[in-house]
Amino acid sequence: MEGEIQHKWVKTNGVKIHIAEQQGTGGPLVLLLHGFPEIWYSWRHQIPFLANHGYHVVAPDLRGYGDSDSPISPSSYTMLHIVADLLGLLDYFGEPTAFVVGIDWGAAAAWHLSLFRPDRVKGVVCLSVPYFPRDPNTKPTDSFRRSFGEDFYACQFQEPGRAETAFARYDYLTVMKKYLLVGRIDNLVAPEGMEMIDYLPTPSMLPPWITEEELQVYADKFQESGFTGPFNYYRAMDLNWELLAPWQGAKITVPAKFIIGKKDIGFETLGTREYIEGSIFRALVPDIKVVILDGHHFIQLEKPQEVSNEILSFLQDNSSDQ
């Protein structure tokens, strides 16, 4: 099925976005949005599965990643920029609406596309990262520092060049092993004075759901593109917070499903479980179904068939009256 995936570049919002595309038999457009540190290839299990069920599947490399353009300035990585890129993809394909599926930073993009332009979204499926309310009083980096200290990974990523220099001490395959396979939240808080990449353990064995060859695909692509683009998503967090003030308290009104692994980083320790099962999340996303699977953060890789089935059932449930 890999041979049926087509690759092209789309000019949108001032950048060129690389997409992997597989056409079904006339079904709705489905965008699959990856997270950090990933590329379109993270959806390699879901792309042919959904296309074989008739859907038009498009998995972009988000700006800053893979074969897409990577603007230098962190201010070019706000959710306004990312959502504008995605709207440009819908316009390119001539689709007034689409389903959108995202994980990690891709989930943030999917939530905000649904927030900003619900008229363009048939439904949203997000993995691993729920839609969080904006704290009106505290910037994200201040919140992270208060909770985890200066050496939390997202805080270390703030200083331009710092994480790039640290990552450069390792080959790209090792970097991917450290970050794609991180298992615990305490692994993401380095001891004082130590760089995050140095603190993260390198797994001695790979889990059964990913191979050395698959990790090498990521490594080769990041060796070409570097990590500045991905880091810039973190460096734009506080700017995002400022720009999103007009949407304070706004709801996601489109049909939604949220999928998370019960072994995900912080699921228990950060209170994510209580949040997604509580009233605030459901008030912000009224039409939400929550699914908890037996897996970790990159659940679409670890449990590909279960995730694919959950996505498909959502698409089918929300396609009949479209």
Active site residue 92: no
Angle, vertex CA 147, rays to CA 146 and CA 150, nearest 5? 65
Structure-block tokens of residue 252 = 């996601």
| H or E element that contains 316 | helix 304-317
DSSP 8-state symbol, 139:
-
DSSP annotation of 152: B
Distance of alpha carbon 23 from its chain centroid, rounded? Answer: 22
Q: Which residue has the tokens 């049909």?
A: 255
Q: Tell me which residue has tokens 């997000």.
A: 126
Element (H, E) at 276: helix 272-276
* Tokens 């991180």, located at residue: 182
Beta bridge partners of residue 8, listed in sequence order: 19
Catalytic residue among 61, 69, 104, 151: 104
Cα Rg of the chain, angstroms: 18
Q: Residue 132 is encoded by which pair of tokens?
A: 């969080």
Alpha-carbon torsion, ordered 100, 303, 133, 138, to 10 deg: -120
Tokens of 224: 């070409």
Question: Does the active-site annotation cover 18?
Answer: no
Q: Does residue 61 have an active-site annotation?
A: no
Q: Is 320 exposed, middle or buried (0-12, 13-18, 19+ CB in 10 A)?
A: exposed
b/e map 144-165, b = 16+ CB within 10 Å: bbeebeebbbbbbbbeeeebee
User: Among 85, 218, 234, 296, which one carries the catalytic annotation?
Assistant: 234
Burial class (CB in 10 A: 0-12, 13-18, 19+), 32: buried
**Tokens encoding 206:** 């790979």
List residues with catalytic annotation: 104, 234, 297
